[in-house]
A and B are shown apart, each in its own frame.
Chain A
Amino acid sequence: MRRELLSFKQIVYLLILFITGSTIILPVGTEAKQDIWAAVILAIVMTVPMVLVYARILSLFPERNLLEINEQILGKIVGRFINFMFAFYAFTLCALVLDNFGQFINVTAMPETPLAIPMVILCLLALWATKEGLEVIARSGEIYFPIIVFAAAFTFLFLTPNLNIQRLQPPLHQNSEGIVSAALHLFSFPFAETVIFMMIIYSSKKTKAMTKVYLAGLVIGGAIILLSVTSVMAVIGPERYQATYFPAYLAVQTINVGDFLQRVEVVVFLIAIFAGFTKISLCFYAACKGFSNALGCKEYPFLAVPLGLLEFLFAANLFNNTKQMARWASEVYLYFAFPFQVALPLILWIVGEVKQRGRQGSPEVDLHDESQG
């Protein structure tokens, strides 16, 4: 099988795009109200150990991604079953993000266009990108990244006159429950979703790089989220933040520079689609890889077309309306994602450590394993 090698920088960019992907358009951490910044920071802090576990698992088995590691340490049958579960998670996540963007476009810009149109186009594009391979997704990410940074910087600059620091007050006032709850939600969406990356990347000879890659992506992506949600909160305040489906859109609507540059929200969120698309195609790629592994196939591209069409149908029928989507995100997703984001990685980590210890004890086994790989 042809190995697709990504550079350090490419993975970090992909992580940042993945984390910011659909997060910047959705109302995340509503429970924390004006203390949303604290919730984001807490969520990042909570994610760090988890991310270290992900990186550690990959580092324990160099040149292997999660799917191959599962197969190696859990045996063929159990490993493939777990891989199937992970693939299903990636598949679901992809459908959720697709649905988010479909709803977003439908609600904000084109209420008369059927929801399915943008979704099917995004789905076909993700399918195509997946067929072309991970390098194409990564290189597209390299193109999108500077555009997004540029747009975000300008948006923030233009938003500064509308920032009202009073909307963030009183800080940390009898709100610890809300902060923790919001942080938990933020942990599961988007930060710990980076577990998907384990299915895609693998550590090369330099084992430490994995930790660095994951931490760099998490911290930079987290900082962007922190900046964006805090400024959105400071512009529209906690009540409107809670009341709307797409608060950032509402915040950007207030931009008005000299009565000339106004109502630019469409342009801003067009650029958010770049990040969303990267997230969709990465999830879809991971799903293709996972399912092909679960089916015992070496190659994945043949799965792209049938799985892509299935993905579209799944996403289109996932929710009846935006309210349902928001409820699912706030009440169910946390528990749905928990096994994939926390439980399974922890188990894998422990099993992996034990197995690797055993291997180091007996060099013959080590040699044997090397020849297999």
Chain B
Amino acid sequence: MTKTAPAGLRRNIRKSGPTSTTEKPTSAQGQKFNCSLGSNLKVIKKVLQNDGLVIYRKIRLATTPLRHCYVIYVDGMVNGDLLNENILRHLLNYDVRVPAQVPKMSFSDVLMNRVLSTGSVQKDGSIDSAIQSLLYGNVLVLVDGIPYAFVIDAKGWEIRSISDPETERVVRGPREGFIENILTNLTMIRRKMINPDLKMVFREIGTRTRTKICIVYVEGIARPEILEEVYRRLDKVQLDGVLEPEYIIEFIRDAPLSLFETIGTTERPDTAVGKLLEGRIVIMVDGSPFAITLPYLFLEYFQANKDYYDNFFYSSANRLLRYISFFLTTSTPAIYVSLVNFHQEMIPTRLLVSIAAAKEGVPFPAAIEAFIMLMAFQLLREAGVRLPSPVGQAVSIVGALILGEAAVTAKIISAPMVIVVALTGISGFIVPEMPGVSFFLSLFFLFACSFIGFFGYIFAVIAVTIHITSLRSFGMSYLSNLTSIHLQELKDTAVRAPWWWMTYRPRLLSRDKRRLADPGRTEL
């Protein structure tokens, strides 16, 4: 049977051979493995030509009749120990002529069941998908006379070790952050929620990079409509490469041109699990330590994960502080400019005199001054972020000296303006997730105020309100928790209530609304 079949098939391959050279090298689309080892190998080698990392190891199997097999893998992407000990060694040593315990077993079954002693071995008949899995770090074993490849999971490449998440540090709370490997990230989530309701659905996105993404949700809490919407939108993504979640986010988010983010990201597994428990959906993207969380509501800008780990009085105070600093960072320059330019009567006289004294000799109007200083602050911030930390410190010292002290003494900027911009900048750091939003908003407000004072400010606020209330994130109103005065919802919006008091999950977000079986705390 093995001797007659290949001839015809070989001819087929040869016929398709010349045509395939005229096409692109990766033209194994739709081709199947046949029984001839040589022709299979030829196709694979043609597809993978000029790929120096792929290693082909030829082994003679101790069988009658004599057969050859090829072990193919990508150098550096497989676990060497596993490859040597459990695959190569067994293939070399196992004598198939020794009568098997179960005589009815076919040769391939013997290989699968008695020789290849690894966790996952699968048969794959399609050359295309076999090459896919080869490039993803699996080992292919091709055997003469068997019309499919054995795909053995022996992935093992170098990964960064789990470390403190840089962007979301906390004083108290877990210290691990996601890394670039999707499997490690998923195990981090899984370890935090040992429950069969936690579902993980894999997808591939990127016609060229074929990046693995994983949609994680908790069945029974996440709303199925939102989940369906996520799938629907992901299906429409037509990208050739995905290197970071932002690539996907910009495709699937609502209001793609809005300044406000309607999809969140996090680097922390505990935050991701917290969001899962609120009924949100998390999408992990291979190759990035950031997970996508959605739907994302405006309030989440102000909810830091450390709120849930600290004493709730302290957390509530911090949260209020964040709301105030959002107001300060967006509005301080605008309010200062309108006070100084248009509504001097509101400033107490003594203060007005000292401001006027400070402004004496400064050539610019207050609005221009504020604009210059805001831009300078942004320059400094950006320079500090990009540079390595020792140089970054130098930048900040130079910036502080020149922009603060020197600019005031040189009468380029008035001293109160330095205070105003410093306040704007510092408050901006308190809500770190929205640097872009607060900067643009502060410029917008400043612009509006520089023409008609406070009235401009109020018109700008109305404009922002109209925009922000019209936003939606996956069918949910962007402000859905903010505009309500439900006591139940204020527990995790305006303040952070104690855990034993937050009986319900966010109202519109989740299906199973009850968080605690018994409200209140059992008396000790």
A residues apposed to B, CB below 8 Å: 9, 105, 109-110, 113, 117-118, 121-122, 125, 128-129, 132-133, 135-136, 139-140, 142-144, 146, 259-260, 262-264, 266-267, 270-271, 273-274, 277
Contacts and interface: CB of A to CB of B under 8 A. Distances in A.
A129 B466 contact: yes
A266 B477 CA distance: 32
B466 A263 contact: no
Contacts of B466: 125, 128-129, 132, 136, 140
B451 to A, nearest CB: 8
Secondary structure dominating the interface of A: helix
B4 interface: no
B488 to A, nearest CB: 14
B469 A136 contact: yes
Contact of B455 (A142, A144, A146, A270): A270
Contacts of B485: 9, 146
B518 interface: no
Given A109-B455, A139-B479, A266 B463 contact: no
B455 to A, nearest CB: 6
10 contacts: A109-B343, A110-B453, A118-B459, A122-B459, A125-B466, A140-B462, A140-B466, A146-B485, A266-B343, A270-B457
B470 A274 contact: no
A267 B470 contact: no
Interface in B475-495: 477, 479, 482-485
Contacts of B343: 109, 263, 266
Nearest to B335: A267
Contacts of A118: 452, 455, 459
B418 to A, nearest CB: 23
Nearest to B349: A259
A135 B465 CA distance: 12
B507 to A, nearest CB: 13
Contact of B469 (A121, A122, A140, A267): A140
B345 interface: yes
Contact of B348 (A113, A260, A267): A260
Nearest to A105: B455
Contact of A143 (B453, B469, B470): B469
Given A139-B479, A139-B483, A140-B469, 19 more contacts: A9-B485, A117-B452, A128-B466, A129-B466, A132-B466, A133-B470, A135-B469, A139-B469, A139-B477, A143-B465, A143-B469, A143-B479, A144-B465, A266-B453, A267-B454, A270-B455, A271-B458, A274-B458, A274-B462
A267 B458 CA distance: 10
Given A113-B452, A140-B469, A142-B483, A128 B463 contact: yes
B454 A121 contact: no
Contacts of B455: 105, 109-110, 118, 270, 273
Contacts of B452: 110, 113, 117-118
Given A139-B483, A273-B455, A267 B477 contact: no
A304 B245 CA distance: 38
A117 B459 CA distance: 11
Interface in B1-60: none
B94 to A, nearest CB: 69
Interface string B442-458: 00000000001111011
Contacts of B484: 142
B175 to A, nearest CB: 38
A222 to B, nearest CB: 21
Contacts of A142: 483-484
Contacts of A139: 469, 477, 479, 483
Residue of B345, B463, B482, B483 with most chain A CB atoms under a 10 A cut-off = B483
B307 to A, nearest CB: 22
Contacts of A128: 463, 466
B524 interface: no
A254 to B, nearest CB: 13
B346 interface: yes
Nearest to A113: B452
A264 B345 CA distance: 9
Contacts of A133: 470
Nearest to B466: A129
Contacts of A260: 348
Given A132-B470, A140-B469, A121 B459 contact: yes
Contacts of A117: 452
Contacts of B479: 139, 143
B441 to A, nearest CB: 15
Contacts of B463: 125, 128
